[in-house]
Structure 1
Amino acid sequence: MSINILLITPYNMEAYGGVQNQVSSINSFLNEHDQFTSKIAAPNSEDFNIGNSINIPFNGSVSPVCLIPVKHKLTEALNWADVVHIHEPFVPLIFWRLPKNIKYIFTHHASLNNFVTFLLSILYKFIRRNGISTYVSRLSKKNAVALNQEPHLIPNMFYLDNNVDFAIKKRFLFIGRDEKRKNLKLYKNYVDNFYDSKFRYTAITNTEIKNKYIDTFLNPNDDDKNNILNDSDIYLALNTHGESFGITLIEAINSGNIVISSNLEAFKNLLGDSGVYFENNSLTSLNDVIEVIKKEELYNIWLKQKKYINKYEISKNMEKLISLYLTI
């Protein structure tokens, strides 16, 4: 008899995001495992569609979040489950009035500031929902500690392509919405000031870029996005703040790109000594690093990064999560 695992997130499953990516990956892995049956409860989930989401500015970004779920749908989902695994629990715990007599696992993704974390720690004392707390990176640990003093580190995980290889394409790629945290402005400034006719420049974003040298793709579907990644070889992660992990960096490397990123703590934790970093939000530093990279053997840089991210392969990390499902 299989164990029913319900994966819950307040985020819209049709919107791209790190939490949605992890929920989908875990769901796929569990449904290939004889011991488990997994379903997702979230806005626009094919299993349990718990209601509409609204775009809420939070932590330097805009997230599609369900604040008030459809009660009978959520109840149906909870009644089906043996174990309930909630990703990014502060919205469900504060707004959803979840029942107490359930086996919960809470996974914390966001890197929150100290003031917000302090407020959550107070709120959680009044809410009092027992469960196991996990976190995906060092920067999300304090968020997890606010709920449970002894959380478990289980990093974000991915299906990695062992057959992918690197090839010179001479194509820079930026991915991110036009918001301060993603820093599309720096990308446009870089192309305006340091355009090199030997290279192509591409952006996947949500607003049209008025620059004849930048090919803009507005909110492409997953297949088109993957094709663009596969046709690029240098991915620029220009984020300024508010990151706890960096899923898109893994996706880029796993599609045959080297990654050049800002020196955020989250990105340095993610890529370690395999990373190529520039000073956060510095146009001069970004150009200096790119000019050095242009003279390097790019294949060796990519190979080092590809080997480093193997520790995030899903089969290696799901063992830890499965052990929690079995012991809770």
Structure 2
Amino acid sequence: MRIGIVCPYAWDVPGGVQFHVRDLAEHLIRLGHHVSVLAPADENLPVPPYVVAAGRAVPVPYNGSVARLSFGFLSAARVRRWLHDGHFDVLHLHEPVTPSLSILACWAASGPIVATFHTSNPRSRAMIAAEPLMQPALEKISARIAVSEYARRTLVEHFGGDAVVIPNGVDVGFFADAEPRPEWSGGTIGFVGRINEPRKGLPTLLEALPRIIAARPDVRLLVAGKGDEEEAVKGLPPQVRARIEFLGMVTDQEKASLLRSVDLYVAPNTGGESFGIILVEAMSAGAPVLASDLDAFRQVLDGGAAGELFPVEDADALAGAAIRLLGDPARLAALRESGSRHVRRFDWETVGADILSVYETVTTGAAAIVDAEPSDNGGWRARFGLARDATP
């Protein structure tokens, strides 16, 4: 199958959508499919052979963060050329309701189109304002996927229709087989995320850290991510600063080793998360997880069975939970075991098969056939959020 995938966000900026697109493309290529990914990237930037650079991205505030997107006449021309040259059997767009390559491709494309919606933001004013502009393009989409129930709810509330929920995928074996590093082991708490992005929650963790260190003086916090380190620790006592190690940007292999090494992984995010890929990566690596009680995180952690939860932005609750867990080896071992079992549902072998089944549905016309069967109780077309007038 010839598959075209559009990534809306800059390829060289780490993020959950970019990682999902990369890993999906590589999984499909391993299965023998021809895959081409169109993504914002400077033409001088080294990219994998399956990626086509669509030019430099510009920063745009979006969903509590800053997204780097490509949009405009030049980008539209590159999209049309890529579509013309690709001769794709199916086109897979990610985040098609952003002003990005994805919506440009949706406007320009014909034939089977699958769209994955990642955003969880039910009160988005931008989406409300964009609905009249986006609706004609969305009607061209053959099948819709949401990465979580909360992303599906955002889609339904703003644009109608429905979507099948297929979570983000993770190469579980990659994280499970990573080698721990001695310098990152022994009384360590891990955090991975952009330091200066408030919704990633590092300020909440740093607010909790003095109490954690007072109870357990040997604890160290390892922070992996880009940002202003001096600004992050401003106001913390010197003895607390001494227990924090900033690792900067890390490679995928280093991230896997970090997650394999820490005694506890903390995700103190404050909102705007539709899934929580870092939680899945941490569980895959065998790290016990303590996360803020966001709807998406609760779902990823199986309601709290695969990891512990604390109230959002409650530094005292975070500190209390971390102190209790770090002092309870049996509970940490139980979380490792439950997390390792639970994470299998997110492995690419499962997630990739589900996505391929959507591709096959929209390219063969099976959705239209089973939709007509009364016994189907709504039909495959309803299950996949298929447009009524969309046929391959």
TM-score norm. by structure 2 comes to 0.77
Contact 1:235 1:257 in 2 (8 A): yes
Note the C-alpha offset of 1:199.
1.8
Pair 1:53 & 2:50 matched? no
- The reply on whether 1:318 has 2:344 as its aligned counterpart is no
Once the two structures are TM-superposed, the CA of residue 30 in structure 1 deviates from its matched residue by 0.7
Aligned partner of residue 55 in structure 1, secondary structure: strand
Determine if contact 2:95/2:117 at 8 Å carries over to the other structure: yes
Length, aligned pairs only: 325
**Does the Cα contact within 8 Å between 1:110 and 1:143 map onto a contact in 2?**
yes
Is 1:215 aligned to residue 245 of structure 2?
yes
Q: What letter matches 1:70 in structure 2?
A: S
**Equivalents in 2 of 1:261, 1:97: separation in Å?**
36
**More strand by proportion, 1 or 2?**
1
Q: Which residue of 1 aligns with 2:38?
A: 41
Does residue 301 in structure 1 map to residue 301 in structure 2?
A: no
Which residue number in structure 2 is paired with residue 199 of structure 1? Answer: 219
Report whether the alignment pairs 1:188 with 2:193.
Answer: no
Contact 1:5 1:82 in 2 (8 A): yes
- For residues 130-279 of structure 1, the aligned pairs below 5 Å read 130-145=141-156, 146-147=158-159, 149-161=161-173, 163-164=176-177, 169-177=186-194, 178-195=196-213, 196-205=216-225, 206-209=227-230, 210=233, 211-272=241-302, 273-279=305-311
* Secondary structure at 1:155 match in 2: coil
Aligned-partner residue type, residue 198 of structure 2:
K
The structure number with the bigger radius of gyration is 2
Change (3 A) 1:97 1:263: closer
Per chain length, whose mean CA-contact separation is higher, i.e. which structure has more relative contact order (CA < 8 Å, sep 6+)? 2
**Within 1, Cα distance between the matches of 2:325 and 2:106?**
52
Residue 289 of structure 1 aligns with which residue? 321
Distance 1:131 1:153 in 2: 15
Q: Secondary structure of 1:158's match?
A: coil
Shift of 1:86: 0.4
Native 8 Å contact 2:80 2:108 kept in 1: no
Matched, 1:65 2:95: no
Report the Cα offset of residue 105 of structure 1. 0.6
Give the TM-score, by structure 1 length: 0.91
Show CA shifts across 1:44-101 (max 9, x none): 3542111111222211112222223534432232120221100111124655672252
Whether contact under 8 Å (1:191, 1:213) holds in the other structure is no
Of 15-24 and 109-118, the range deviating more from structure 2: 109-118
Q: Are the equivalent residues in 2 in contact too, given 1:22–1:157 (CA < 8 A)? A: yes
Query: Per-residue displacement from partner, 1:258-285 (whole Å, max 9, x unpaired)?
Result: 1100111111011122220111111111
Q: 8 Å contact 2:120–2:151 — kept in the other structure?
A: yes
Residue identity opposite 2:223 in structure 1: A
Q: Which residue of 1 aligns with 2:95?
A: 88
Partner residue of 1:124? 134
Paired with 2:311 and 2:345, the residues of 1 have a C-alpha distance of 26
Residue identity (%): 23
Q: Structure 1 or 2: larger helix share? A: 2
